[in-house]
Amino acid sequence: MRKWIASFGLFLAALPLMAQSGQDVTIHYGADFQYHFDNREFSASSDKVTPSYTEHAVVFTPTLGLSWLQNPNAKHSIIGGVDLRHDMGESSWRHVAKEAVIYYKADVNADGGRFQGFAGVFPRRLMEGSYSEAFYSDSLVFNDRNLEGILLKWQKGNFYTEFGCDWMGKLGHEVRERFQLFSAGSYRASDWLTLGWTGVFYHYACSELAPGVVDNHLLEPWAKADFSGYAPGWKELSIQAGVLAGYQRNRKIQDKPDFPVGAEITLTAQRKNIIFRNISYFGDNLQAMYHERDEAGLIYGNNLYPGLPFYTGFYDRAELSWEPQLTKSLSLRVAARAHFGKDGFLGWQQVVSLRFNLEGIKF
């Protein structure tokens, strides 16, 4: 931790000198704070799908950076910081510094649209696509807070798209080399209809102990109809339907890949700050190798399947939340989630999350 603090201190000390190199260079600062409480109770299903536990932590990410205005339509930034995390009840603060945040950002206005590019280690929240929890679970989004690679975003009129690469593991004795290419996009075809897609190409490669390669790719084209424009007082009254199509193959033992397919339907009703959302999945098992072991004897589990572990057949999730925007930079979320499978009630969660984000104002 001392090395992290010393390195970050040198970076801070160098900023004023770097900023003096040109009149178009400015210093920026940011901060992101999140308090997160998530109590998961799955005793109703004997903890077979996922265990009962409580996630209770605070994360603080201070950042500083330099921005250079190339011209009125192009700005470049270099940002550095660190994720500081404390899990409630931990007696030691020795490992509070979890991960460095250091990345380059480009912001360009061109052809009537806006391009943004990121390279390095940067916050996952910069992704703006509509990703089902079949791709990324709520737990992963909170605990794996940063991407390591690139993210490219383009917005023009009613069209938005993003593409990125997240390098998730470096080849080691037991640790697999693995990376993920992802893409999402949407087009607002009318006041009430939006079309879009989400896709992930996941290359779960080898370690020294486990030389095999496993592919896990997933694509979801979707359509969303929002009728709130015809119902005064409602912020959203929508139905979204998508098809989840997978490609999975353990190359060492499978000559042909598996192609699991399913449908996901999301119903959302929002009035003021109260949101009800119901998500239903019907189809094949999207996580067929979840409990299998690799050549090193390690269970694939959520290392191969980063989504919620319930997408194995019929699955339904109902959520009621209160999400007020207290100030421009301060938001609150209080939610209850109930999970159901083919055998009935699986369990539920109670979530409280408070977030203060200064970065959104400063950058």
83 domain residue, yes or no: no
- Cβ–Cβ < 8 Å for 159, 129: no
Distances (CA, A) of 82 to 5, 7, 35, 148: 9, 11, 16, 14
Q: Which domain holds residue 305?
A: 111-322
Number of domains composing the chain:
1
In a domain, 87, yes or no: no
160 C-beta neighbours (distance < 10 Å), count: 20
Q: Are 111 and 73 in contact (CB under 8 A)?
A: no
Which residues make Cβ contacts (< 8 Å) with residue 254, sequence separation at least 6? none
User: Is 177 within a domain?
Assistant: yes
Task: With respect to residue 240, please indicate whether it lies within any of the assigned structural domains.
Answer: yes
Q: Cβ distance 94 to 86 under 8 Å?
A: no
- Helix ranges, the chain (H): 2-19, 138-143, 301-304, 359-362
Stretch among 56-70, 110-124, 205-219, 235-249 having the lowest mean pLDDT: 205-219
pLDDT-derived band at 8, boundaries 50, 70, 90: low
Helix (H) or strand (E) holding 239: strand 236-250
Percent of the chain past pLDDT 90, that is, above it, reads 77
Judge whether 189 lies within some domain: yes
Q: Is the pLDDT of residue 214 over 50?
A: yes
Note whether residue 65 is domain-resident.
no
pLDDT surpasses 90 at 24: no
Q: Using DSSP, state whether 82 is helix, strand or coil.
A: strand
Considering the domain boundaries, does residue 170 fall inside one?
A: yes
Asked, for residue 14, whether it belongs to a domain, the answer is: no
Strands 261-271 and 315-322: unpaired
Q: What are the tens digits of pLDDT across the range 278-311?
A: 999 999 999 999 999 888 888 999 999 999 999 9
